[in-house]
């Protein structure tokens, strides 16, 4: 297990509910030994003017769940993780339903964490691949 302690989806959602992620209705639905999974609705809050999921909403989902993942690895009394770089490849449009993001570690170092975030539609079609680098800094 990579987490500092055992965390529940309820604990993660209490964080997500407070910020931009709450406005976009992003919810953690699973946490296991090595990954976090979250969902986001495709609705008028997350669509762009052409009626499909806004790429920026996908990036918010990816960065948010990856940043939370980094901070769940760290001792919160000593360090914190902040986003350093993110990229996203938008592979196919999504117009309705929910998307699901699965966040897994690529690298967990002393000064940086790198996360792979794969976002899929309800049919399991991959619509976005994102990589997030998180800087680890003293609290």
pLDDT digits (tens, 9 = 90+) for 19-53: 999 999 999 999 999 999 999 999 999 999 999 99
pLDDT tier, 100 (very low <50, low <70, confident <90, very high otherwise) = very high
Q: Residue 52: inside a domain, yes or no?
A: yes
pLDDT at 133: 98
What band does 126 get if pLDDT is binned at 50, 70 and 90? very high
Residue 55: which CATH number?
A: 3.10.129.10
Q: Going by DSSP bridges, is the β-strand pair 126-138/112-120 parallel, antiparallel, or unpaired? A: antiparallel
Q: Is 63 a catalytic residue?
A: yes
| 96 inside domain | yes
Q: What pLDDT score does 14 carry? A: 96
Residue 132, Cβ density class (10 Å: 0-12 exposed, 13-18 middle, ≥19 buried): buried
Would you place residue 115 in the very low, low, confident or very high pLDDT band (cuts 50, 70, 90)? very high
Does 4 reside within a domain? no
What digits encode the pLDDT tens for the residues 15-26?
Answer: 999 999 999 999
How many domains does the chain contain in total? 1
Look at residue 99 and tell me if it is in a domain.
yes
- CA 101, 105, 107, 109 torsion: positive or negative? positive
Catalytic residue (choose from 25, 63, 85, 122): 63
Q: Domain residues for 100?
A: 9-138
């Amino acid at each position: 297990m990579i987490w500092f302690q055992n965390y529940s989806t309820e604990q993660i959602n209490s964080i997500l509910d407070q910020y931009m992620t709450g406005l976009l209705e992003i919810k953690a639905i699973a946490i296991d030994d090595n990954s976090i999974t979250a969902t986001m609705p495709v609705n008028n809050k997350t669509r762009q003017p052409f009626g499909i999921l806004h790429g920026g909403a996908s990036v918010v989902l990816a960065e948010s769940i990856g940043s939370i993942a980094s901070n769940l690895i760290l001792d919160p009394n000593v360090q914190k993780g902040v986003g350093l770089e993110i990229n996203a490849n938008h592979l196919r449009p999504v117009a309705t339903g929910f998307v699901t993001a699965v966040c897994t570690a690529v690298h967990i170092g002393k000064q940086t964490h790198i996360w792979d975030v794969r976002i899929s539609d309800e049919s399991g079609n991959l619509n976005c691949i994102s990589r997030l680098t998180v800087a680890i800094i003293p609290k």
